[in-house]
Structure 1
Amino acid sequence: MASRMTSASIVSLVLFSTLAQPSFAGGLDRSGYNIDLLFDQSRFSAQSAVIYVMPQRELKNVRDTDPSIRPGGGNLNNRSHSADDTENYAVPYIGFKAGYEDVDCLFDYSEPFGAHTNPGINWAGANNNIETKIKTHNYATTCSYKFDVGPGQLRLIGGAFYQEVEGFKERLVSTVPIAFGTGTGVGRLDLEDNAWGWRTGIAYEIPEYAMRASLVYNSRVKYDSLSGTVDLTQVRAPVAPLNAAPYGAVTNVFGEAEAPDSLELKLQSGIAPDWLAFGSVKWTNWSVLQSISLCPTYTKGRACTATSGTQLTSLDLLYQDGWTITGGIGHKFNEQWTGAVSLTWDRGTSHGYGSQTDSWTVGVGAAYNPTDNIEWRLAGALGVLTSGSSGVLVENGVPYGTDVSYDFGNDLVAAVSTSIKVKF
Structure 2
Amino acid sequence: MKATAFGISLGIFMPGYLYAAALETSNQSIASFLQPDHYAEFSTAIIKAKISGKTYRPASNNPSTSSEISTQNFANTFYISNLALKLQVHPNWSFGLIYDQPFGTDIGYALEPISTSPADLVNAVDFELDTHNLTAVFGYQPNLSWNLYSGLSYQTLDTQLKISGQSMGILADYVADTDQDSGLGWLTGISYQIPEYALKTSLTYRSKIRHQPQFYEQTFSTPAIPALNLSFKQPINIETPQSLNFEFQSGITPRNLLYTSLRWVNWEKFKMISPLMSSSAPTSVNLVDYQKNQLSATLGLAHIFNEQWTGALDIGLDSGIGNPASTLSPSDDYYSLGVGGFYNLNSNLFIAAGIKYFSLNKAKVEQDQDGSGSLFGVLSSVDNNRAVAYGFKMGYRF
TM-score using structure 2 length? 0.86
Name the CA distance, whole Å, in 2 between partners of 1:54 and 1:90.
Answer: 9
Tell me what 1:34 maps to: 29
User: Identical aligned pairs, as a percentage?
Assistant: 21
Aligned pairs for 1:245-256 (under 5 A) are 247-256=228-237
Partner of 1:343: 315
d(CA) in 2 for partners of 1:226 and 1:387?
33
Question: What amino acid is aligned across from residue 365 of structure 1 in structure 2?
Answer: G
Equivalent pair of 1:172/1:185 in contact (CA under 8 Å): yes
Q: 1:280 to 1:413 in 2, by over 3 A?
A: same
Please name the residue that 2:117 is paired with. none
Matched, 1:414 2:397: no
What is the Cα deviation at residue 352 of structure 1? 2.2
Displacement, 1:144?
1.1
Aligned to 2:78: 89
Q: Pairwise mapping of residues 142-157 of structure 1 onto structure 2 (< 5 A)? A: 142-148=137-143, 153-157=145-149
Distance in 1, matches of 2:177 and 2:156, equals 14
Q: Deviations over 1:184-214 (max 9, x none)?
A: 9422110242211111111111111110111
Partners of 1:409 and 1:81 in 2: CA distance: 9
Greater shift, 46-55 or 383-392, is seen at 383-392
Residues 110-189 of structure 1: pairs in structure 2 closer than 5 A:
110-122=100-112, 129-148=124-143, 153-172=145-164, 185-189=172-176
Cα distance change on mapping 1:254 and 1:80 into 2, 3 Å? farther
- Map 1:220-231 onto structure 2 (within 5 A): 220-223=208-211, 225-231=212-218
Measured against aligned partners, the alpha-carbon deviations of 1:262-312 in whole angstroms (never above 9, x if no partner) come to: 11111100111021100011111111124x32326xx9xxx979636xx6x
> Aligned equivalents of 2:385 and 2:377: distance in 1?
24
Which residue does 1:178 correspond to in 2?
none
- Residue 253 of structure 2 corresponds to 272
Give the corresponding residue for 1:190: 177
Q: Distance in 1 between matches of 2:376 and 2:390?
A: 37
Deviation at 1:22, TM superposition (A): 4.0
Q: What does residue range 102-113 of structure 1 map to in structure 2 within 5 Å?
A: 102-113=92-103
CA distance in 1, matches of 2:164, 2:201: 50
Q: Which amino acid aligns with 2:199?
A: M
Asked if residue 295 in structure 1 is aligned to residue 275 in structure 2, the reply is yes
Does structure 2 retain, via aligned residues, the 8 Å contact 1:164–1:195? yes
For residue 192 of structure 2, what is the amino acid of its counterpart?
Answer: Y
1:63 equivalent to 2:80? Answer no
Cα displacement (A) at 1:387: 2.3
Asked if 2 retains the 8 angstrom alpha-carbon contact of 1:64 and 1:405, the reply is: no
What's 1:322 paired with?
A: 294
Equivalent pair of 2:6/2:307 in contact (CA under 8 Å): no
Deviation at 1:236, TM superposition (A): 5.5
**2:47 equivalent in structure 1:** 53
Contact kept in structure 2, 1:228 and 1:252, CA below 8 Å:
yes
Quickly say closer, same or farther: Cα 1:16–1:81, change in 2 above 3 A.
closer
Would the alpha carbon gap of residues 329 and 399 (structure 1) be closer, same or farther in structure 2, given more than 3 Å must change?
Answer: closer
Instruction: List runs of 5+ in structure 2 lacking aligned partners.
Output: 115-120
Q: Residues of 2 paired with 1:53 and 1:250: CA distance?
A: 35
2 CA distance for matches of 1:289 and 1:65? 32
Taking the aligned partners of 2:132 and 2:186, their CA distance within structure 1 comes to 15
Q: Distance in 2 between matches of 1:411 and 1:235?
A: 35
Gaps of at least 5 residues in structure 1 are 176-183
Which residue, 232, 237, 247 being the options, matches 2:219? 232
User: Per-residue deviation at 1:317?
Assistant: 2.6
In the alignment, the residues of structure 2 paired with residue 92 and residue 373 of structure 1 have an alpha-carbon distance, to the nearest angstrom, of 22
Paired letter, 1:329: L
Alignment partner of 2:201 out of 213, 222, 225: 213
Say if 1:385 and 1:413, in contact at 8 Å, map to a contact too: yes
1:106 is displaced (CA, Å) by: 1.4
Q: 8 Å contact 1:369–1:376 — kept in the other structure?
A: yes
Kindly provide the amino acid, as one letter, of the partner of residue 24 in structure 1.
Answer: Y
Q: Which amino acid aligns with 1:320?
A: K
Q: Distance in 2 between matches of 1:253 and 1:114?
A: 22
- Secondary structure of the residue aligned to 2:275 is strand
Change (3 A) 1:257 1:347: same
Q: Is the 8 A contact 2:183 2:210 kept in 1?
A: yes
Deviation, 1:53, is: 0.8
Q: Is residue 203–residue 247 contact of structure 2 (8 Å, CA) maintained in 1?
A: yes
Distance in 1, Cα, partners of 2:84 & 2:29: 10
2:118 matched residue in structure 1: none
Determine the C-alpha separation between the residues in 2 that align with 1:139 and 1:31.
13
Alpha-carbon distance change, 17 to 344 in structure 1, aligned in 2, over 3 angstroms: farther
Query: Could you give the per-residue CA deviations for residues 292-351 of structure 1, whole angstroms, max 9, x where no partner exists?
Result: 32326xx9xxx979636xx6x641333311110100001111111111110010111133
SS at match of 2:80: strand
String of CA shifts for 1:344-371, please: whole Å, max 9, x gaps.
Answer: 1011113324313111111111111111
> Residues 254 and 406 of structure 1: is their aligned pair in 2 closer, same or farther, counting only changes over 3 Å?
farther
Decide whether the 8 Å contact of 2:204 with 2:245 is kept in 1.
yes
Count of matched residue pairs:
382
Change (3 A) 1:331 1:402: closer
Once residues 369 and 305 of structure 1 are traced to their aligned partners in structure 2, the CA distance between those partners, rounded to angstroms, is 62
- Aligned residues: CA RMSD: 3.1
